[in-house]
Amino acid sequence: MSVPHKKVYGLIGFPLTHSFSMNYFNNMFESENIDAEYVNFAIPEIDALKNVLSDNPNLAGLNVTIPYKEQVIPYMDEMDDEAALIGAVNVIKIIRGKNGEIRLKGFNSDAMGFQNSIAPLINAKRNRALILGTGGASKAVNRALINLGVEPVYVSRTPADGQLSYDDLTPEVMASHKVIVNCTPLGMYPNVDRCPDIPYDLLTPEHLCYDLIYNPDVTTFMKKSRANGAEVKNGLEMLLLQAFESWNIWNS
């Protein structure tokens, strides 16, 4: 349980060994003399969110990471328009009433963070994208790419209508989709040797391969992409941009 007088913020997900958010926020609180703390809540089931809320009466806001960005939605009392449109929540604002009741409002800062991070790397040839994975983060990426005028398509091991399978990544598809975004957890610490199963030999210097993972800072996906000439970027800048937006949401 937290120190009674401090505002508490935190992160829910499972596992959380990969996350830098706690260090980022606690360093910010220390450097700016903010009387608050940021705590990791590694919950094995989303229903444990109820315990997190009841055990931490000073909790003012939460970030949400894998695998709960979609599962958390039924727990929201209210949804921001953008989060509702995306269909995923990565920021929860906890609104406390005078009688001790709480309301949870869901937001999505991933889309803004990703959009601002990738925008400088988009050009006329990078006008179509492959989104690897179909989880909550991929929905924010899809929204951001559309905002930037890039036509996205999902790639999944079990594709739904309108999506591609990994077997569909033919030379023609790879040549026409110059942006590839890894939204899967493959390659995340501690399983750093894993990567999505795409035809890396079909990549060129015109391709941009963006990995939402930031731990490790150079993933196997990035290494194999760069070895074949592609431009690469990890998700650290996106993390920082969305964290800054989270703070604004919690304090608005």
**Pairing of the two strands 59-64 and 91-96:** antiparallel
Angle at 19 between CA 52 and CA 244, to 5 degrees: 85
* Beta strands across the sheet bearing 128-132: 151-155, 128-132, 179-182, 208-211, 231-233
Q: How far is CA 228 from CA 114, 162, 206, 209, 221, in A?
A: 24, 28, 11, 11, 11
What backbone torsions phi and psi does residue 62 show, to the nearest 5 degrees? -135, 145
Of 205, 198, 208, give the one whose Cα is nearest residue 132: 198
Q: How far is CA 121 from CA 2, 88, 207, 209, in A?
A: 42, 25, 10, 10
Q: Which residues are catalytic?
A: 69
pTM over 0.85: yes
- Coil vs helix vs strand at 106: strand
Q: What is the gyration radius of the CA atoms in the chain, in angstroms?
A: 19
pLDDT in tens, the chain (252 residues): 444 568 999 999 999 987 889 999 999 999 999 999 999 999 999 999 999 999 999 999 999 999 999 999 999 999 999 999 999 999 999 999 888 899 999 999 999 999 999 999 999 999 999 999 999 999 999 999 999 999 999 999 999 999 999 999 999 999 999 999 999 999 999 999 999 999 999 999 999 999 999 999 999 999 999 999 999 999 999 999 999 999 999 999
pLDDT at residue 2 in the model: 46
Residue with tokens 């920021």: 91
Angle at 166 between CA 196 and CA 126, to 5 degrees: 80
pLDDT at residue 4 in the model: 55
- End-to-end CA distance of the chain: give it in Å, rounded: 25
